[in-house]
Structure formats: C-alpha cells, structure tokens
Structure 1
Amino acid sequence: MNGDANPTRAVPSGLGAADRMPAVGNASTGRRGRSMVSRAAKGTLAARVLASMKPGELRWTVEPASCLLHKAQHWDELNHHAGELPFLRTAFLLPLLASFGNGHERVAWGFDAAGQLQAAAVLTRASAWHWHTFQPSQLPLGAWLHRPGAELRPCLRSLFRALPGFTLSLGLTQLDPAFTPRVEGPAMSGVDYVDTAWLAVEGDWSSYWESRGKNLKSNLRKIRNRLESEGLALRFSTVTAPSDMARAMEDYVRLEASGWKAEQGTAIDVSNGQSAFYARMLQNFAATGQAELWCLHIGDDLVAMDINLLQGRTLVMLKTAYDTAFKQYSPAYLLKQEGFEREFAQGRTSRIEFYGKVLEWHTRWTDRRRQLYHLNVDRWDWPRRWHQRLKS
C-alpha cells in the first residue's frame, strides 16, 4: 500500500518492504542523515498516533482501486474471515471495476494498533462531502468487509479522517445482517432495503419436496407428464470449465434477449459491458472450481440457465434466464427443481442464497428470508439532532 496516503499507519505482515511503516533510526549528518531523521520523525509520530487510538478505532489508508491488482491476497484473506462471500472476492470485484468503475474508486484499508487488517471497502465519491460503497447493480451487496468482532461505530468514525477532502457522511449500501449486524446510534442510522430469500439444504430431498406448496408440486408434475407424452426429453447439465464460459455466456445472452429483461433494457448484452464482465468473472471462478452454470434442455433446445458461484458450503444464484418460446413448460422452475434436488443429493452445500428482492417465485422454494439494509454514518450527530428539532 502506498505509504504516502497515510505515513503513520500500521500494516500487516506479508506486505512488501516499500509498504511497511518506516522504522525509527539514529540521526546522522548529510543527505542520508536527513533521510534517517525524517524516517525517525515519522516513526515517532506513528507510535504516538497508534498509542492515542481509542478502543475500536482503526488506522486507515486510502488508495486507488487499482491497488487490488497486486494486493488481492490481503482483500481475499479478509473476506475469508468476513463471511467468505464469492462476489466480494477480487475475482469478482476486479472485472466489475474494469467494466463498471469510473476510475475514481478508492480502496480503504483499516488496521488496528497491532497492524492487523480489520476492515476494507471499495468506495466511490457521490458528492464533495459524501462517499459510499461501490455498488453497481451486478454486485449483490456493498463492497465492505470487516472481521467479526470489529466494532462498527469506532471503525467507521475513524475512516472519516482518512478519506480525501472533507467528508460529512458515509454510506454502506446493501449490507447483510448475517455478516454485518445492524448497529444504530448517534450519527449512525440504518435504512431498510429489501428482504432476501435463502434455502437451507438440510435433510433429504423427499422431505423438503413434500414441504413445498401443493401448486408447485402439482404443476411441475403435470408439465413433466406433458413433456413425456409429447416425446420431449428433459436433460440437466452443468458448465464448469474456464474455456467454456465465454460460449456459455453467449447462450445466456440469447436466452435473456428473448424475455422481459430485453424489453426493459436490463438484459445482459454485448453492447452494455455486462457480457464481457460475466465472461471474465466466470472464467476467474471456474479456474478455481467455483463457477457452475446450470442448463436445462428440452429435446435439443437449451431452454433455461442459472449462473451460480460456490464458496465453501454456500451456493449463490446470481442470475437466471429462460427461453420464452418454451414458457408453457415453466423451464426456470424445472431447472431449479433439477438443480436443488442435485444439491440435496450431493450434500456439498448447506445453503443456497438468492440475494436481491424476494419475488413470488422465491417463496415457492423457501419460507426463509432476512432484511438487507443500508447504513448511513455522519461525521457528527448534532446536525441530525438539530434537523429533528426543527421538524418537531
């Protein structure tokens, strides 16, 4: 990390010599002596600053987001401790920044007094006085990480002093209370975002399927009988090889182009940068065996696809698409039935996360949900209290 951003910070072990806090040395004469005096002064100041840190405060340094290219291991190691969500790995964030960043994003690194990395964020400036987490629509949660046990209030309040310019407010967007418990208080307020659904993969498939609604089970049974009577075979397959991801995304783009997303202009398209992002991102994850596209064929036709990422025992469903020419067969439902039954049988996952707003089709598969939220943090509490008094 660039020491010029904050010469008084502590850094974790494992960074290069150029990134380390300068050591205190004895003063000498001449140019070399002046350099040693400067290093000694900085080292003394660093020690004073660290000693004056209040409990829970962090020493932050802020760098251009391009630093993630050569400091990916530090971000990913923190993510491992902070929930291990696949879309918050640099394998996802780097192609996302390349496709949808404006070049002005910053990465903030927060270290405790012992030099251990406790928190990190990719931030973008919303105005002269406001920063918020990097949040393009392709990213399910805001680009924020912190170790369990890190106190959010002092951690964030100490970030204000490190951000460029004079910052009055900071926004952490689309937080998951499963990994960032909701904390409110002076100068901190949470804002409800959306409910998100998730499926617990526990027990056996037959018990789970029996627990689902009558309409879902009946409709899919009728569709399967209809396909059989028409001589149309169902086939489930997966795409996992890095070399197959670009072609698979071409198939996915074709499926989305047939539906309502194309009509609304939100479908993945080669002209809006999304296709290139997903192809690069999926190649990254496929290289480590953590990308899996589910495909459903009816006869010789590919009719539905799901884009999934795997991390630990969690499968995250990022996107789904189907060919509207086959909508009478409910291909998206058939695909999920095939995929979910496979997950129950294999036992490799314990939960399937949908993320995003709960839709009606989510409720067909699960009854579990939790509320995502935004967190707004102000530099001071008095403007909010003063505004509330004026309103009362």
Structure 2
Amino acid sequence: MSWRVVSADRFLDSAALWDELNAAAGGPPFLRAAFISRALDLFGTGEEVVAIHSDDVGVDAITILQKGHSGTWHTFQPSQLPLGAWLMAPGRTHAALAAELFEYLPGFPLLIGITQQDPHMSARPAEGGLVETLSHQTIGWIPIDGDFETYWNQRGRHLRQNLRTQYSRLEKAGISRKLHVLSHAKEMGPAIARYARLESAGWKGAEGTALGLDEVQARFYCAVLEDYCAMQSGTVFELRFGERTVAMDLCIESDGVIVLLKTTYDETVMGYSPSSILKALAYERLFARADVHRCEFFGPFMWWTSRWTQCARVLYHVNVFRWSRLRALRQRVRSASYGPPAHSGLATASASPESPIHCTSRSGGLGASGGLPFL
C-alpha cells in the first residue's frame, strides 16, 4: 500500500476515481469532481496537491491538500465547499491513511488536518494515539420519506399557521405566487444575476458578503450550476409574487441527495414570509419525486432550521500527528492556556458531541456546536 502525490493541476486525471470513491462513501453532490474542479480553478492557490492511495485491490483514498504553516498540511476547503476534500473507501480510517501520508508529502510535516468530515460518510474516530478529533458544527437534513402532507402536519403549529396567514394575505391583496423551477444550463446565468441582485440588497450586501454580479463567487456558482444542469443535477427554485422575484434557493443533487447551496430572499417584502413559502412549495415538489430521499442543509443548524426538521448531526475535524507525543504536548499546552494562540496552525473546537447523528420528531431547536476549522 502506498500514496502517490501529484500537483492538483492534474486533478481531472483522477476525476473518475474521485467520483467512484465519493459514490462508494455516500458523499454529497458538492464532493463530485465537477464541483471540486471548479473550486480548484477559482479558489485554489495553484500549490495544492492531489494524494492518491492504493491498496492491493485499487485506489481506496484520494485527498486534495494545501500546505499550512508550522509543519502542517490540511485538506483543501474554500468557504464554498462545506466539507474537506478527503475521500476514502468504506472500512478505511483517517488515522491509518494519514499516518502513511506523512512520508510522501513535501518537507517534513508534523500534522495533517482533515477538516469538516461528515459522520454520514465515515464514523468519527476515537481520540488517542496520533489522533485528535474536534467538533465543528451541527447541521440538519430532511428525510424525504412518505408524503408531504404527513411531513407538513409534523411541523410546528406556528409555521403552519404562519403560512396559512401569508397565503390569505396574498390572496386578499390580489398578489399571485408561483414557484419557478429552473433546471436548464442556459437559465443559470440570468438566474445567478437575479440572485446576486436580491442578495446584494439585503443584510449580506450591507456586510459586504453578498454574491456580487462581477465577483468570482458569482462566476463559480454560475459555472457549477451550468455543469450540474448539464448532468440533470442542478436546480434553482425561484419564488415570484406576480413578476417580482422574492426568494431563491440554489441546489445541486446526486444519488438521491439534494443540497441547498445558497438561499436568499427579498427583505423589503414585509409580512409575507417569502423564504418560508418558497421552501414549503419546494419541499412539496421533492416529496412528490421518487428519486430523492434526503434534503441537506450544510450550514449551521439555526432556529429556522428546526422549523423544517429535527434531524441533525455534528461535523468533525481530525488532526493526525506524526508522533503521539506531539498530540500529548498539544493537549498540555491547550489545558494550560486560556485559549489557542492566534494562527497556531492547529485546529481548535469544542468537546466531542454527545450524539453525532440525531433525528427526532420533538419540537424545539438544536443548537450548533461551536468550533473553528483547522487553519
């Protein structure tokens, strides 16, 4: 068994293997090679490497890594990518693979940080030896199982009453509502332009974090959605009141899983809850499809998330040290200080979660787990 490390500009040479591993691991649509390739092109530094591990049977792990500081390497993960770029076959472990990888990376690395891993894909490893695990955040998902009416009746009374009220207000005001479902590549450019204008007019625009028409992020999401629409795997849900766009969700899917990449709404539309109306109409369509079994939110589990689902799980980081004594030293330093030094190069996060995967019909919210990514 051995690793092979090449420049990430050769990533597409391994695209088929990447997608095979992602499918085998039950990975989300944004970990497909089409998404990763666009992310590397637009957000990579040009110094990333692709590491490919093979056993006697064939390739059983692939990762994309960036060199950090103070003798560290970490998985490629720009902010647009919800999970770290690490794939491995079922039965393989982060610790064993990373322990072998040290000898193949340039320089003399002391730590490999594997960021934001999903317990749906691989169980959180046990703490000890070379391994340190750290909680990142709680995320939610909706099981698309049964019919929409049953799902809707399980939502809280406040959400259901609120939407009935908004529908009544729209009807009394003579305002039509319609959900447009866009899934053709040629529709994505204009759709992203409308999305950017909508988001820029809201609080994200005021904070400078909105999708801008001329920004690299807009080019990225437009290219990704065009790519996925060409594979019949991209969708934009757009809610209009009359001819006015009031809410939009950008989604991609694969293997029965649809992921909400980005969402926005018109904050000047007061008293009509356009974002909630869009989601109710969109989820009704998803429940009518036989080929979708899960809808994923990879953002933090917020109060509004709990209105739509009580299913949650905790993403985690894995730090693998070259020697176990480095991990022990790291733990002593952390316990003796009030917090990690700025830009320490080591991951910091909250303690292990009580329940890595949780799904219940109880009402009430689930708070997000604190933590910082490895950087």
Tell me the TM-score range normalised by the shorter chain: 0.7 to 0.9
Superposed CA deviations along residues 145-197 of structure 1, whole A, max 9, x for unmatched, are 00111133211100111111101000011110110211032110111100000
Partner of 1:144: 86
Contact 1:104 1:124 in 2 (8 A): yes
Instruction: Tell me the SS of whatever aligns to 1:325.
Output: coil
Is the 1:84–1:311 Cα contact (8 Å) retained in structure 2? no
- 3-state DSSP of counterpart to 1:92: helix
Partner residue in 1 for 2:72: 130
Question: Any runs of at least 4 consecutive aligned residues in structure 1 with deviations exceeding 2 A, and if so which?
Answer: 383-392
Taking a change above 3 Å as real, the CA distance of residues 352 and 154 of structure 1, as seen in their structure-2 partners, is same
**C-alpha deviation, 1:69, in angstroms:** 2.6
Aligned to 1:204: 147
- Structure 2 residue 175 is matched with structure 1 residue 236: no
- The answer to which of 237-246 and 342-351 deviates more is 342-351
Residue 70 of structure 1 aligns to a residue whose secondary structure is helix
Per the alignment, residue 42 of structure 2 pairs with 99
Amino acid at match of 1:370: R
After superposition, give the CA deviation of every residue in 1:205-261 in whole Å (9 maximum; x if it has no partner).
111111110110111100000000000011011111111111111111011111111
Read off the aligned partner of 2:290 and give its amino acid letter: G
Tell me the residue number matched to 1:113.
Answer: 56
Give the number of the structure with larger relative contact order, counting CA–CA contacts within 8 Å between residues 6 or more apart.
2
* Correspondence 1:78 to 2:9: no
After superposition, where does 1:225-374 map in structure 2 within 5 Å? 225-374=168-317
Which structure carries more helix by proportion? 1
Amino acid at match of 2:7: P
Q: C-alpha separation between the residues in 1 aligned to 2:196 and 2:313?
A: 30
TM-score (norm 2): 0.86
Which residue is equivalent to 2:117?
175
Q: Residue 60 of structure 2 aligns to which amino acid in structure 1?
A: Q
Q: Give the paired residue count.
A: 334
1:62/1:374 CA distance change after superposition, 3 Å: same
Gaps of 5+ in 2: 337-375
- The amino acid that maps onto 1:175 is Q
CA distance in 2, matches of 1:165, 1:386: 22
Q: 1:107 to 1:233 in 2, by over 3 A?
A: same
From the CA coordinates, give the structure whose radius of gyration is larger.
Answer: 1
- Aligned-partner SS, 2:304: helix
Give, as a single letter, the amino acid of the residue that structure 1 aligns with 2:80: Q
Whether 1:381 aligns to 2:324 is yes
Distance 1:296 1:387, change over 3 A: closer
How far is 1:272 from its partner? 3.4
Q: Contact (CA 8 Å) 2:197, 2:213: kept in 1 or not?
A: no
**2:142 matched to 1:195?**
no
The residue identity in structure 1 corresponding to 2:180 is: S
**What amino acid does structure 2 have at the position aligned with 1:345?**
A
Residue ranges of structure 1 left out of the alignment (5+ in a row): 1-57
SS of the residue corresponding to residue 103 of structure 2 reads: coil
1:55-107 deviations in whole A, cap 9, x for unaligned?
A: xxx41111111111333112112212122321111110111111111111111
Whole-angstrom CA distance in 2 between matches of 1:129 and 1:90: 28
* Partner Cα distance (1:379, 1:363) in 2: 40
CA-based RMSD of the aligned residues comes to 1.5
**Partner AA of 1:179 in structure 2:** M
| TM value normalised by structure 1 | 0.82
State the Cα distance separating 1:123 from its structure 2 match.
0.7
Q: What code does the residue aligned with 1:68 have?
A: F
CA distance in 2, matches of 1:325, 1:387: 49
Q: Is the 8 A contact 1:68 1:75 kept in 2?
A: no
